Structure 1
Amino acid sequence: MPPVKMFTTAVCPYCIRAKQLLKARGVEQIEEIRIDTSPQQREHMMQITGRRTVPQIFIGETHVGGCDDLMALDARGGLVPLLGQSA
C-alpha cells in the first residue's frame, strides 16, 4: 500500500471524516502534517496543491484533494485500486 499523507488541523471535521474513510478502506497509517502549528507547512501545502483548505490528501504521489474529493473517488470505485498500487 502506498503511503498516505494528509495535511490537517486539530479541529477539522472533514479531516476526521477523511481519516475514518481511509481507515475503513484498510489504511493503517496516515502521516498527518499539522498546518495549524506550522506556518511553513501551510505555505508548503498551498504551493504543492494550490489550495488553502484542509484536509489535503496524498496517496503515494497522487494528490487526491480534500474530503469531498476523497468521498467522490471512493463513490466512483477509484479509492481502493489507488490504495492497492505499489508505492
Structure 2
Amino acid sequence: MNKVVMYTTGYCPYCSRAEMLLTQRGVAEIEKIRIDVDTEQRALMMERTGRRTVPQIYIGDTHVGGFDDLSALDRDGKLLPLLNG
C-alpha cells in the first residue's frame, strides 16, 4: 500500500473526515504533518501544493488535494487503485 501523508491542524473537521474515509479503505497509518504547530511545514505545504487549506493529502507521490478531492476519487472508484499502487 502506498504511503499516505496528510497536512493537518489540531482541529479540522475535513481532516477527520478524510482520515475516516482512508481508514475505511484499509489505510492503517497516516503520516500527519501539523502545520499549526510547525510554521515551516505550513510554508512547505503551500509551496508543494499551491494551496492554503487543510487537509492536503498525498498518496505515494500523488497530490490528491483536500477532502472533497479524496471523496471524488473514492466515488469514481479511483481511490483504492491509487492506495494499492
Task: Give the TM-score normalised by the residue count of structure 1.
Answer: 0.97
Query: Match for 1:48: what amino acid?
Result: R
Q: CA RMSD in A?
A: 0.3
Number of residue pairs aligned between Structure 1 and Structure 2: 85
Once residues 40 and 13 of structure 2 are traced to their aligned partners in structure 1, the CA distance between those partners, rounded to angstroms, is 23
In the other structure, the counterpart of 1:24 is 24
- In the alignment, structure 2 segments of 5+ residues that lack a partner are none
In the other structure, the counterpart of 2:13 is 13
- In the alignment, structure 1 segments of 5+ residues that lack a partner are none
Cα offset for 1:23? 0.2
Once residues 84 and 2 of structure 1 are traced to their aligned partners in structure 2, the CA distance between those partners, rounded to angstroms, is 6
Task: Give the TM-score normalised by the residue count of structure 2.
Answer: 0.99
The sequence identity of aligned pairs, in percent, is 62
Q: Could you list the structure 1 runs, at least 4 aligned residues long, displaced by more than 4 angstroms after superposition.
A: none
